[in-house]
A and B are shown apart, each in its own frame.
Chain A
Amino acid sequence: MERAEEDEQLIGRLATGDTTALDPLYDRYAGLVFALVLRILGDRQGAEDLLQEVFVRAWQRAGTYQQTRGRVTTWLLGIAHNLAIDEVRRRRRRPQGLAEREADDADEPLLSLPATDPDVADQAWERLRRTRISAALGQLPPAQRAIIELAYFEGYTQSEIAARLGEPLGTVKTRTRLGLRKLRDMLQDQGLELEVD
């Protein structure tokens, strides 16, 4: 069975209240989701909290997943991205206190090992795909890439990006459009599939 079909069956099971489907769904996507939210938030503690939240939301919203509106990967990453961007914006409005930050850095006992991925081959596949996607990103003009990354990973609005870069808003908007469309075309040309093995 294709991965996409398996994913959809898992979401279907969740939608009917079968919570056992969460276990395999988590195994398949936790690494990718965690990498994304960690990249956005920048701290493991916050990222692990958010990771849990993403899968709770996925369970709660499984009934609203529409196959016609994209793959499970896109859907799940969308939930993760929205939550992480909301959180990073909230933090930006209300910066974390110094004391709290120091507490995070305190030497804590090693409570648990990182979870193990069920398949070595999947990890290597993942690594190779990362290399190719990074290569595709590398082909974008630097100005377009910088704006897309500021938007996607940092959660800045177009106006904020324009202010940070000292560029006219219109230029930022144009580069965003061109960059994301170009990225889409390159990935489609390469036949890369947005699936997690």
Chain B
Amino acid sequence: MNENDTTNTQIHATVAELLPEYALGTLAAPDEHVVSAHLADCLACQRELEELREAASFLAFAAPPATPSSAVKSALLARVERLAAAPASGTPALAAVPRSSAGTPARPRRWRTWRYALAAVAAVALLALGGWNIALQRQLRDQQQQAQAQATQAADQATIARLVANPAAAHTVFGPVTGQYGSLPPAGYVYIDPNSTTAVMLTYWLPHLAPNTRYQLWLITPGGARDSGGLFTVDARGNASVVIHAPAPFSKYNAIGVTAEPYDGSPQPTTPRVLGGTIQ
């Protein structure tokens, strides 16, 4: 090993040690330059950095959830449109742009807590009414009678809007520890109004279905009787959003279960439960 190799090996070892700090963006200037320079031609460090950056990015999910006001988006789109239309900037440029305070529409200010709470409730209702529209329309395409379907859709939307606006309606359900993601068990939320026959279930990480099978949802009475709550499939991740139409008000049931069944369903469960939990 010649002198250059030895130096490079030492630099590599030093940089490798500094990568976590670099990924967190907290490395001070001299070290940062060393790392940047080495990264340019070290594939191993680039890969390591990518993984560490991804891990650091996960921390963003640990921040308390928050929703920006809708004014931000309209101001952003207006600003970009303006910038894109400006002479000599037909393509995006790396040039510095003015801070957003310049020339943007009136900006929302910090709200009093109660106002925020009020707005949040309104937003949840809007979100529910608007957001489910697409999913429901997709389901409805499969149905022959559009008029009847639209009536059902409207009723579902109203119920969904009411349910998801009420955190007390949510019940968490889990599966045994064999999801499609190894150690992650399938999981879900069920939104229920005991007096209604309609509920909403959002599920995650259910195992992939075998051909010609669908998941069947079971509504379980305290006596152990099981009524079918409908059939559904999952996407590639094992996720699904399901509107449940129960044969009786949900007050009759105290638990739900999900099993994989033949495509058209079974009168009673025929396979082990993949998801379940109490709903009272």
Chain A: residues with CB nearer than 8 A to chain B? 2, 14-15, 17, 19, 22-23, 26, 30-36, 38-39, 43-45, 47-49, 51-53, 55-57, 59-64, 69-71, 73-74, 77-78, 80-82, 85, 104-108, 110-121, 123-130, 132-134, 136-137, 148-149, 151-153, 155-159, 173, 176-177, 179-181, 183-184, 187-192, 194
Q: How far is the CB of B166 from chain A (nearest CB, A)?
A: 13
Task: Check A114 against B69 for contact (C-beta < 8 Å).
Answer: yes
Chain B residues with CB below 8 A from A148, complex form: 24, 59
The answer to whether A115 and B72 touch across the interface, beta carbons within 8 angstroms, is yes
B97 partner, pick from A17, A48, A56, A187, beta carbons under 8 A = A56
A189 to B100, CA, bound (A): 41
A180 touches B20 (CB 8 A): yes
| B84 adjacent to chain A (CB < 8 Å) | yes
**Which residue of B17, B75, B111 contacts A108 across the interface (Cβ within 8 Å)?**
B111
Q: Interface on B for A, CB 8 Å cutoff?
A: 17, 20-21, 23-28, 46, 50-73, 75-77, 79-81, 83-84, 90-95, 97, 99-101, 104, 106-112, 115, 119-120, 122-123, 126-128, 130-132, 134-135, 160, 164, 181-184, 187, 189, 200, 202, 204, 236, 239, 241
Q: Which chain A residues border B81 with CB–CB below 8 Å? A: 19
Q: Chain B residues near A69 (CB, 8 Å)? A: 46, 50
Would you mind naming 14 contact pairs between A and B with Cβ atoms under 8 Å apart?
A22-B76, A22-B80, A52-B72, A62-B92, A69-B46, A81-B25, A111-B107, A119-B135, A128-B187, A130-B62, A133-B62, A155-B25, A184-B54, A194-B54
With contacts A113-B70, A128-B187 taken as known, whether A120 is within 8 angstroms of B132 at the C-beta atoms is: yes
| Bound form: Cα–Cα A156–B160 in Å | 44
Given contacts A26-B76, A63-B92, A114-B120, contact A31 B109 (CB under 8 A): no
A19 touches B80 (CB 8 A): yes
Q: Using Cβ atoms and an 8 Å threshold, which residues of chain B touch A56?
A: 76, 79-80, 83, 97, 100
Q: Evaluate contact between A191 and B181: CB separation under 8 angstroms.
A: yes
CB atoms of A111 and B106 under 8 A apart: yes
Using known A-B contacts A48-B107, A153-B63, determine if residue A132 contacts B184 with beta carbons closer than 8 Å. yes
* Complex CA distance for A78 and B59, rounded to whole angstroms: 11
In this complex, what residue of A is CB-closest to B200? Answer: A120
Q: Which of B25, B56, B60, B79 has the most CB of A within 10 A?
A: B60
A69 to B97, CA, bound (A): 25
Nearest to B127 among chain A residues (CB) is: A116
**Chain A residues with CB below 8 A from B53, complex form:** 70, 74, 78
B105 CB, nearest partner CB in chain A, Å: 10
- Chain A residues lying within 8 Å of B119, measured Cβ to Cβ, are 110, 113-114
The distance from the CB of A41 to the nearest CB of chain B, in whole angstroms, is 11
> A74–B54 contact, CB under 8 A?
yes
Contacts A17-B90, A121-B202, A184-B55: A116 and B126 contacting too (C-beta < 8 A)? Answer: yes
Q: Which residue of chain B has the shortest Cβ distance to A185 in the bound complex? A: B55
A17 and B91 contacting across the interface, CB-CB below 8 Å: yes
B16 to chain A, nearest CB (A): 9
C-alpha gap A105/B100 in the complex (Å): 20
Which residue from chain A places its CB closest to the CB of B93 in the assembled complex?
A60
Contact B107 A49 (CB under 8 A): yes
Least CB separation from B240: chain A residue? A121
Q: Are A111 and B62 in contact, with the CB atoms below 8 A?
A: no
